[in-house]
Amino acid sequence: MDTIYIVIVLVLLGLAALDLVVGVANDAVNFLNSSIGSKVAPLWVILTVASVGVLVGSLFSSGMMEIARSGVFYPGKFTFSDIMLLFLAVMVTDVILLDVFNTFGLPTSTTVSLIFELLGAAVAVALVNIWRSDSGMLFEYINTAKALTIISGILVSVVIAFTVGSIVMWFSRLLFSFKYKKSFSYIGAIWSGLALTAITYFAIFKGLKGTTLISKESINYIQDNLGSVLFFIWIGWSVIMATLQHVFKVKILKIIILAGTAALALSFAGNDLVNFIGVFMAGLSSFEIASDVVAAGGSVDTLTMGKLSEPVSVDWRYLFGAGIIMVLALWFSKKARTVTKTEVNLSRQGEGIERFSSTGASRSLVRNAVSVSKFFRRITPERVTNFVESRFKPLSDEESSDASFDLIRASVNLTISALLISAGTSLKLPLSTTYVTFMVAMGSSLADRAWGRESAVYRITGVLTVISGWFVTAIVAFTVAAIVAFALMYGGIYAVVGVIALVVFLFIQFAILHKKRENKMEREDIQPSTNEHDIVVNCTNEIRESVKTTVDIYSKMLDGLFNENRKELHNLYKIADEFHGKSKRRRAYEVLPTLQHLEHTSLDTGQYYVQAVDYFYEISVSLRYMTESSYNFIDNAHEGFTQEQIEDLRTLGKELISVYNDFNRMIDSKDYSGLESIKERRAVILDLYSDLVKKQIRRTKNKDTGTRNSILYLNLLNETKAIALKSVNLMRAQMNMFNSDEYNKAMA
């Protein structure tokens, strides 16, 4: 047998290991979201519980491996060579596609990606065979009914999961309210019994069904007597929970959430492991079948792979090895944290920085929802409305924790997800664990009023982005797998080497991109100050650094403009844009939470703090506009400034930079006695500004400068004047804040 097939098997093994890492990074959100979002336990405890579930599930997942072998196409219609290239195309596409989603922190379905990659690659290989033989029909190769069933199942599961999650969460909150501890002490055991019954049912029918851990006879007995079995399980769990709650004083909600996390992790490994190693195992089986034929004196050139349709038993060592890799990825993958952060951020109860912006679709949906809400308020009796409002009244700042949502919502997310997935499995309906868990979490967030008027448009945009990404997954998976398969079928060994090199290159590039995104998010992460002393100290430090950034951007912008350095100006524009974005986010998301932590006696400090933040925001607007205008001017290759204009701008800029440098020295020395001198120098800058504007008007009349040149020059003068005015106001606010009576008392 040709060496190329051994190489392909080894490549499939390497890609499978890589796929386990990127796959876990995306699917971990399914079972970690509720635990991490509710902060039910320290992260190491959550990961330990999930790791146990992953290891157990991986050891008993062999029953699902047929999907990659014969779930989408008819293997008997493909030769050994065709099938090996088909599997290679699928693995290459899967690794790249999942890593793209992980890099941008978007959850997607590994099941859907695998199915459509198999479908796309199989279609491409089948078409090549049809064209080469000039005979046959595509439907003879492809199981089209399976693909259509999967698509319809996805659409239905998305709608049902969101609807059921919303309804159950609404009634749960109505039952317990946000102050749930008192009522939970009475009916918590019954509630926990129901939740654990659902999780148990889920673990049996979704996580362990089809494995050797539970015999088929036991599964059949449970199915035949389902009502009675579930009733006695509920009674048993309720008694156990009541004992733990009232006798041993255990917080049983935490048991529910950790049990649900383990069950979902077990299901993920037991059923989704095929998405990562199923293709490799199918390729290995194909290689073993071909090796047996060669050993018997046959040829693999015309060997068809009908044997792949037969039942398979996977060596437990492969499963255990896969489980270990998944556990390691679970603990150490930074991209898994990024994907989890996206879902938790979309479902969090409190306000904060929104990752997504508003869109026309989200704004329209919110407006319609507000109208519907107003209509129901009008027709609902006032007593009923008041009662409902009292149950949904959020906790005060003193009562609330720093968790994204509470244990009640976390238990609803896990319980409903488990019920829907197990129900779909028992009905033999295709669905995606990712889609169900995500939409349940979004539905419960909506019902729990986490999407208030302040954040709804941004959260809905995020949800629509994720959902649209799911459809993109299917389209891109099919298309890219087909393209790669075509390349492999026609390119042979050269194409094999090429796609392997492509995977390595893209994987490195995405790792670099993800690191840059994470560093940027860390820089943009704004934490509000919690007391007066922190406000003054933090604001002073931020102003000191911002002043240095302003001087650096402004001076380099002038140099880049005068030297017509397009690249330098482009970099400065990106820095100024990021600086402006940070100032904008600080004003939008930091000011109010910071003021809420101030004492009533600290009003002066709060006033000066608001002024300082606002003045620097306006300065950042001017900087961004100046760098953008300068870059566009040079990018369009307009005529540069005259020597006289350059000297005038340098003179004005030198005065402004000198003021900033003196101000920073005041901050460092904590001596603001020189502020009066700075005010006088501001007057000098304004007089100089007036003279330069008049000089430019004379140049324009004499046609010494072009139109674009004059517009940019005057804009730079105007923005420099604006910065000078705002800067002195900023300095005065900073001095007043530092010298405030409240701050001095805090320092005494």
Percentage of residues in the chain having pLDDT higher than 90:
34
> What is the structure's pLDDT at 243?
95
The pLDDT assigned to 444 comes to 93
- Asked if 484 and 606 sit in the same domain, the reply is no
Total tally of structural domains belonging to the chain: 2
Q: Which two tokens stand for residue 238?
A: 């309720």
The reply to whether 512 and 576 lie within a common domain is no
**In the prediction, which pLDDT does 400 show?**
74
Question: DSSP label at 298?
Answer: -
Average pLDDT of the chain, as a whole number: 85
The tally of CA atoms less than 13 A away on the side-chain side of residue 437 is 31
Q: What is residue 369's predicted lDDT score, i.e. its pLDDT?
A: 84
Residue-by-residue DSSP string for 314-348: --HHHHHHHHHHHHHHHHH-HHHHHHHHHHHHHH-
Residue 336 shares a structural domain with residue 267:
yes
> Structural domain of residue 686, as residue ranges?
528-747
Q: Which helix (H) or strand (E) holds 63?
A: none
Q: Residue 292: its pLDDT value, please?
A: 87
Looking at the structure, tell me whether residues 165 and 268 fall in a common domain.
Answer: yes
pLDDT over threshold 80, residue 524: no
My answer on whether 475 and 608 are in the same domain is no
Q: Please say which residue of 522, 554, 581 terminates a domain.
A: 522
Task: Kindly indicate the confidence band of residue 522, based on its pLDDT and cuts at 50, 70 and 90.
Answer: low
Alpha-carbon gap, residue 26 to 105, rounded angstroms: 8
Kindly state whether residues 74 and 185 are assigned to the same domain.
yes
One domain, residues 329 and 186: yes
Residue 519 has pLDDT above 80, yes or no: no
Please tell me what DSSP assigns to residue 62: G
Assign residue 537 the CATH number of its domain: 1.20.58.220
Is residue 280 located within the same domain as residue 298? yes
At 440-476, the pLDDT tens digits run 999 999 999 888 777 888 888 888 888 888 788 889 9
Tell me: the pLDDT tens digits for 555-578? 999 999 999 999 999 999 999 998
Q: What is the mean pLDDT of residues 93-110?
A: 87
DSSP per-residue letters across 215-235: -HHHHHHHHHTHHHHHHHHHH
For the segment 491-513, the average pLDDT, to the nearest whole number, is 89
Last residue of a domain, one of 493, 522, 551: 522
Let me know whether 459 and 518 are in one domain: yes
For residues 569 and 5, what is the distance between their CA atoms, to the nearest angstrom?
A: 52
The better pLDDT of the pair 564, 740 is held by 564
Cα gap 84→625, rounded to integer Å:
56
pLDDT of the residue at 557: 94
- Residue 742 pLDDT grade (very low, low, confident, very high; cuts 50, 70, 90): very low
Q: Are residues 391 and 491 in the same domain?
A: yes
d(CA 516, CA 338): 13
- Dist. CA 489–CA 128, nearest whole Å: 8
Spatial separation of the C-alpha atoms in residues 42 and 35, rounded to whole Å: 9
Mean pLDDT to the nearest integer, 122-135: 90
Q: Are 422 and 205 in contact (CB under 8 A)?
A: yes
Say if residue 358's pLDDT is above 50. yes
Q: Are residues 509 and 536 in the same domain?
A: no
Q: What pLDDT shows up at residue 64?
A: 54
pLDDT tens, position by position, 9-44: 999 999 999 999 988 888 887 889 899 999 999 999
Last residue of a domain, which of 497, 522, 547? 522
**Residue 11 and residue 165: Cα distance in Å, rounded?**
42
Judgement on whether residues 544 and 643 belong to the same structural domain of the protein = yes
The pLDDT of 77-102, averaged and rounded, is 92
Cα distance between residue 630 and residue 636, in whole Å: 10
Closest CA to 737 of 606, 542, 596, 614: 606
**Helices assigned H by DSSP within 273-315:** 274-295
User: What is the identity of the amino acid at 682?
Assistant: R
> With bands split at pLDDT 50, 70 and 90, how would you rate the model's confidence at 342?
confident
236 C-beta neighbours (distance < 10 Å), count:
14
**What radius of gyration do the chain's Cα atoms show?**
32
Tokens of 280: 């490799």
The Cα–Cα gap between 47 and 327 comes to 9
pLDDT for 582 beyond 70: yes
Angstrom distance (rounded) from CA 42 to CA 39: 7
Q: What is the predicted pLDDT for the residue at 721?
A: 92
pLDDT at 712: 93
Cα 424 to the chain's mean position, in Å? 27
Region of poorest pLDDT, from 108-122, 240-254, 303-317, 671-685: 303-317
Q: What is the pLDDT of residue 397?
A: 66
Residue 449: phi and psi, rounded to 5, are 65, 30
In this structure, of 143-152, 279-288, 325-334, 610-619, the range with the lowest mean pLDDT score is: 143-152
Q: Which of 617, 626, 636 is nearest to 566 (CA)?
A: 636
Q: Which of 70-74, 323-327, 385-389, 567-571 has the lowest mean pLDDT?
A: 70-74
Q: pLDDT above 70 covers what percent of the chain?
A: 90
- Give the three-class secondary structure for 350: coil
Helix, strand, or coil (residue 179): coil
- Treating both helix axes as pointing N-terminal to C-terminal, what angle do 226-246 and 181-202 enclose, rounded to 10 degrees? 140
